[in-house]
Amino acid sequence: MMNNDKKRDLISIADLSQEEISGLFAEAAALKAGKAAGPDRPLAGKTLAMIFQKPSTRTIVSFSVGMVQLGGHPLVLNYQELQMKRGESIADTARTLSLYADAVMVRANRHEDVCELARHASIPVINGLSDKEHPCQALADFLAIQEHKKLKSAAGLRGVKLAYLGDGNNVAHSLILGAAILGMEIAVSSPKRYEPEKEFIEKGNALAAKSGGKIIIEPDPEAAVRGADALYTDVWASMGKEDEREHRKQVFGPYQLNAGLLALAKPDAVVMHCLPAHRGEEITDEVLDGPRSIVFPQAANRLHVQKAILLRLLSKN
């Protein structure tokens, strides 16, 4: 992503090295503290085109506010109003947007569409969520853990244990890859047939072999959370699978992030959720609103991490 010799994209968290992640976190922390170096409006005159095929709260607001704070302009493009809806190819859309905007952020139904957009665009493309990955969310999550543990850099996350409970979805995939890059231990606990995709487990294991990290697929949620520094969950029925919600509520019941499971983790373990939450399903009010929750600091970090990403992709220096 950070190679200045060519157009840079952020499609997967695996596009980043541990050093690049650490650099992004340092920049995000500086921006958060109001201590960032350089001009006050470093992206003045720059435009970020944002395509939304899925509903959004945190993504649309954090990217929009981030661009404004950096001096740039966010342009929200509803998929229903684009010519793509009427059959224009992704390639032609990418070429056209490259004539007008300086970068594209896309929240897409299909990961393949994000990749195709990036292949044909001459400007940076950021994956704001796809059915396979959610890299910006995972980066905000790891920064939240680093901050909570008062670590100086992302390198300090080595050996920290994250337990993920529930659907092996796009968020789980990005957390697996990110934890592997950072040398963390991640235990993913999902019901049978709802585990993360084999491709991401294999890629995570390959990355972990280089970093000293560890990927554990543990169907027993109680075993998964033992010794964990952070417990994480997400909705049981991701966008596009709402028709399975009632069935999933039965299957996923033992994986609810509640006080009982939290008690099995380390005494100072924190609670995490990428939001939106279905309270009383994958997580209880007691732990989401409790003193060990860092759910909203996670959400706040979307703004700061994404500003750092935008600066790296769009800054001249």
Catalytic residue numbers read 107, 134, 137, 234, 274, 302
Length of the chain, in residues: 317
Nearest to 228 by CA among 242, 245, 214, 212: 214
Q: What is the DSSP string of 129-141?
A: E-SS--HHHHHHH
In order of 44, 70, 103, 182, 307, the CA distances from 39 in angstroms are 10, 9, 20, 31, 14
Cα–Cα distance measured from residue 302 to residue 315, given in angstroms and rounded to the nearest whole number: 19
Q: Yes or no: say if 148 and 291 are a contact pair by the CB < 8 Å rule.
A: no
Cα–Cα distance measured from residue 7 to residue 87, given in angstroms and rounded to the nearest whole number: 27
Cα–Cα distance measured from residue 217 to residue 198, given in angstroms and rounded to the nearest whole number: 11
Under 8 Å CB-to-CB from 60, ≥6 apart: which residues? 50, 52, 76, 107
Under 8 Å CB-to-CB from 68, ≥6 apart: which residues? 74
